[in-house]
Structure 1
């Protein structure tokens, strides 16, 4: 039980700003924490959905901007940083080793700045256009889309971590045991399926299937280009998945049956 708690706290501390004491075996906790990624996404989703409810009541016109800022704050900008570095490298048009070096460089280039501005503007516009469907949790009409968005984004990182090789000899992927942990993948996927069903029914399952296909394509493409994934590409995947979920909901909501 203590090992599982340590694993959950590791996932919570890695994916959010929350910093709690975790005195377990650090390496084991990181590897075991993967299974709790969807649960951490659920916590983030509940916070965003509750914030959306309050903002829609008091300042509906500014709702999208505040939700965007809250999402960045809760994650500590970790995934955005990975997205910036990834775009800096991939859009440079260089060979593999040079791309990896650019991604590791702490300096931000023009490609990264342009990409992150585009990403944030797109996410803002999608949050602004989000349909008003409600999921009743007790007496609270929460948005199932805001709830499910971070769940699927954090789940998408699980197959990336467990099914694809790491591009570097040392780094985050090795700490998480990249390319291993099929049991964690199964358990995390079952949890994500259950949450998708509870949030949107069949529409949630369709949305998760689309996320799975997109994430798989992203990981396969990066494996071809870079020889594997990196910590930056995991963060980029989370950010891109959030935008993808919002885009599918806004553009194809009738097809999801919600």
Structure 2
């Protein structure tokens, strides 16, 4: 149990802006990839404050759209926009007509381009709108949707990291130590199980079908594009995976919960 707690704390120190517990880093350095099964747990923890904020604002009489905007923006702040940054860089690199080498160079550029800006705006707007649709059905549905999507998307991120080789040897994701296939699948199982635990009260047993389907489509599509265009994954593409799978899971939940 202590090992799991330390793994979660180490993963949380990298994936969020939550306070770092230095005791978790005592002893020999541990590659982040080894902590990949804890990624979904970090998702649950970081999504808890936004979920509570959403519920509180809805109970205070705020509209679902406004409450969802505050909740999603808090989630972005708690993660330091880490995954959003990856999505923007990935969009800039992949949506042009650049070859593999040029695409990787674009993704390393700290400046944001047109494709990146559009991707960030679209992703933020979709997340807010989808959470608002779910929250419009019930306060509980909206509050539970946030940790469900956060957990399953971070499990998918770990799975992609383990499933594809590094497209940028020496890059951040490569230096962090790629997870083993077993670690990737464990992360997926933890994320999927957590999402179902939070999702069944929202959409009933139907949640076993539609949200996993939409999430799987997003994951497989991104994996195929990355394999074809880059020959593997980078740290930025892992962030893009988290964002796309989160949106896809929320889409599945929204289709189940809205009339």
Q: TM-score, normalised by structure 1?
A: 0.86
How many residue pairs align between the two structures?
249
Shift of 1:59: 4.5
Aligned residue in 2 for 1:52: 54
Aligned residue in 2 for 1:247: 251
Alignment of 1:151-190 (within 5 A): 151-178=151-178, 180-190=179-189
Alignment of 1:19-98 (within 5 A): 19-20=19-20, 21=22, 22-24=24-26, 27-61=29-63, 62-98=66-102
Q: Is the 8 A contact 1:31 1:177 kept in 2?
A: yes
Q: Is the 8 A contact 2:40 2:152 kept in 1?
A: yes
- In 2, the alpha carbon distance for the partners of 1:229 and 1:93 equals 18
Unaligned runs of 5+ in 2: none
Q: TM-score, normalised by structure 2?
A: 0.86
- In 2, the alpha carbon distance for the partners of 1:96 and 1:26 equals 36
Alignment of 1:78-157 (within 5 A): 78-130=82-134, 131-133=136-138, 143-157=143-157
Q: Is the 8 A contact 1:162 1:177 kept in 2?
A: no
- In 1, the alpha carbon distance for the partners of 2:219 and 2:155 equals 10
- In 2, the alpha carbon distance for the partners of 1:149 and 1:199 equals 9
Taking only aligned residues, the RMSD between alpha carbons, in angstroms, comes to 2.4
Secondary structure at the aligned position of 2:18 is classed as coil
Provide Cα deviations, 1:114-166, integer angstroms capped at 9, x if missing partner.
2212222222222222243465xxxxx87321221111111110111111111
Q: Is the 8 A contact 2:86 2:235 kept in 1?
A: yes
Shift of 1:19: 3.3
Q: Is the 8 A contact 2:207 2:253 kept in 1?
A: no
